[in-house]
């Protein structure tokens, strides 16, 4: 089989952002030959938690909201998110993601090196 299949239930969660949340790494450079691809993850942001201020050095990030309604912050403002929303973070851009609710939120992230 030339296609790689990785069942989600077999991928372990790991700490993300210093333990403020978790992620499953669905794909990494180990799975693809592209020199620009960094990773694809499924992020889990617990109730009341924040992926605090951070950036991705020389890496663009795309976030697709799967579950939850919260806030994305950057130096210019605060933006609400809801399921189905897509955010594109330019490389080297400080941002944070906040879950103000009482339930866990989920997002898919794709990172591409520039």
> Sorting pLDDT into bands at 50, 70 and 90, what band is 47?
very high
The answer as to whether 23 is a domain residue is yes
The answer as to whether 1 is a domain residue is no
* Residue 68: per-residue pLDDT: 98
Q: What is the mean pLDDT of the chain?
A: 96
Query: What's the number of domains the chain is made of?
Result: 1
> Sorting pLDDT into bands at 50, 70 and 90, what band is 24?
very high
For the stretch 4-13, pLDDT in tens is: 899 999 999 9
What is the domain extent for residue 55?
13-113
The answer as to whether 93 is a domain residue is yes
For the stretch 58-69, pLDDT in tens is: 999 999 999 999
3-class secondary structure, 10: helix
pTM over 0.85: yes
Compute the distance between CA of residue 49 and CA of residue 43 in angstroms, rounded to an integer: 13
Domain harbouring 19, CATH code: 2.60.120.10
The answer as to whether 103 is a domain residue is yes
Determine contact, residues 87/62, Cβ cutoff 8 Å. yes
The answer as to whether 6 is a domain residue is no
Residue 87, phi-psi category: left (phi > 0), alpha (psi -120 to 50), beta (remainder): beta
């Amino acid at each position: 089989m030339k296609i790689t299949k990785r069942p989600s239930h077999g991928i372990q969660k790991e700490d993300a952002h210093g333990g403020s949340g978790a992620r499953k790494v669905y794909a990494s450079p180990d799975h693809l030959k592209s020199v620009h691809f960094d990773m694809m993850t499924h992020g889990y942001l617990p109730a009341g938690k924040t992926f605090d201020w951070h950036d991705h050095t020389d890496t663009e990030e795309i976030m697709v909201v799967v579950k939850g309604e919260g806030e994305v912050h950057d130096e210019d403002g605060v933006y609400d998110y809801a399921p189905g929303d897509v955010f594109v973070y330019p490389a080297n851009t400080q941002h944070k993601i906040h879950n103000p609710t009482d339930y866990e939120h989920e997002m898919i992230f794709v990172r591409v090196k520039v």
